[in-house]
Chain A
């Protein structure tokens, strides 16, 4: 009951803001170029769906986010495991990893156009680069956080290094790893959309730049709404997958 009423209040607040926005644009006579009314944004959104305008852009952006997230987190996780189990290699590479991560990756976008041309590839590379670091950091952290008693237990039971990693350290660090993946997902949306600003003619980022060029502010807002909705949905999907993974069915045989 309480949760339901909280959800209703939350929804009402949102509607109130939209109503205020709608009223303000009319009473102050704001130009649709600066701040279009929510109804006009809704129109642009609906029109895009009616004409099928959105689908290729949505598909392109989802592809960029998904491929970039997948490649970047796999690479970050793998590198984390490698560096976490080889302290010396970690000491050698840490300065370079730091430099590579502290360089704003979005600043590399023009270079990526030079190297990879326009389209999907530069976006995926950019997104992957951005997703790499949170997974690397969190993998290293989760390996370091392993309970020393549990490590000793596995050693006493004669477990190999590989078993210690996969049967203890990775499952024990699952919450930290999942947190890294959540951060990576949020960053993946930033990476993909911004990369599409620069290096794509398709995708929601490209729509935003196009709408800005043609001064169609309602379309720009509509694209933002879509990005927000898709981003939230993907986050929800990830949480659902996590919950499923975090509570594996008990092995009753």
Chain B
């Protein structure tokens, strides 16, 4: 099984120069199409771990492999979604979504059709010509996700992308994310400090604490998960189990 992992981390260590080690020996296996949630409190190194996986940071020790090859930098089919939408405010929504293409080659009519498809798929119909500043926070997050899908990613690395949104918008975006991931067969590495978000999105949930990653907890609920599952007793049970584990760490 190990050789089939899309992304594998073995004893990965990381620290900022002169600031001591932040991550001490992380092991993680991510299979294609799987959603793995990294749960932890603020400042525990979750974001650094995600950036290591995305090739934006270099590990100070251990082995990081993407499709069996050592990771040396950003991969074209790994997309990153930040905490803030990080849109370029001088470009239209459409041009923001086309950015992953336009940085590498001329944008074709087909690319524009593709970008508009993603905007519509994410509920942004008719907003392609707007500026990012004319959109709500939730809509901006959706544009950032549409931009990520333009990369046709095999892995989506998401760093608390919904943290700044209201509860209802957050749940809508979580639902849409699961639906599109299932459709595209995309793996997700999702960082959050929100227990319910972790339980709803994750096939596996790992707790990051003190620079170490706990044994992944499997969330058994099969996909597709509906919004109604949030009201089900086993959802609450899953959340409670995560909470206990989190508290046991602390």
Contact = CB atoms under 8 A, between A and B. Distances in A.
A147 interface: yes
A250 to B, nearest CB: 4
A156 interface: yes
A150 B129 contact: no
Nearest to B74: A156
A252 B92 contact: yes
Given A149-B84, A149-B86, A250-B131, A157 B95 contact: no
A168 B88 contact: yes
B106 interface: no
Contact of B88 (A172, A250, A251): A172
A156 B95 CA distance: 17
B112 interface: yes
Interface of B: 51, 54-56, 74, 76, 78-80, 82-84, 86, 88, 90-92, 94-95, 99-100, 103-104, 109, 112, 128-131, 151
A213 interface: no
B90 A248 contact: yes
A253 B106 CA distance: 14
Q: Is the interface of A mostly helix, strand, loop or mixed?
A: helix
Contacts of B92: 250-252
Given A250-B129, A252-B128, A147 B90 contact: no
Contacts of B56: 152, 155-156
Given A147-B86, A156-B54, A251-B92, A167 B129 contact: no
B76 A150 contact: no
Given A167-B103, A250-B129, A158 B76 contact: yes
Contact of A150 (B55, B78, B86): B86
B52 to A, nearest CB: 13
Contacts of B76: 158
Residue from A149, A157, A251 whose CB has the most chain B CB atoms within 10 Å: A157
Interface of A: 147, 149-150, 152-159, 163, 167-168, 171-172, 174, 246, 248, 250-253
Given A251-B95, A253-B112, A154 B90 contact: no
B166 to A, nearest CB: 22
B103 A157 contact: yes
Nearest to B90: A171
A149 B90 contact: no
A155 B99 CA distance: 12
Given A155-B56, A252-B92, 6 more contacts: A150-B88, A153-B86, A156-B79, A171-B88, A246-B90, A250-B92
The 9 tightest CB contacts between A and B, nearest first, are: A250-B92, A156-B80, A149-B86, A250-B129, A252-B129, A156-B74, A171-B90, A159-B103, A153-B86
Contacts of B88: 150, 168, 171-172
Contacts of A155: 56, 74
A149 B80 CA distance: 11
A153 B90 contact: no
A246 to B, nearest CB: 8
Contacts of B82: 149, 152-153
Nearest to A147: B86
11 contacts: A149-B86, A157-B103, A158-B74, A158-B104, A159-B103, A163-B103, A172-B88, A172-B90, A250-B130, A251-B91, A251-B95
Nearest to B159: A149
B143 to A, nearest CB: 13
Contacts of B104: 158
A152 B86 CA distance: 10
B103 A158 contact: yes
Contacts of A246: 90
A149 B92 CA distance: 19
B74 A157 contact: yes
A157 B74 CA distance: 7
Contacts of B79: 156
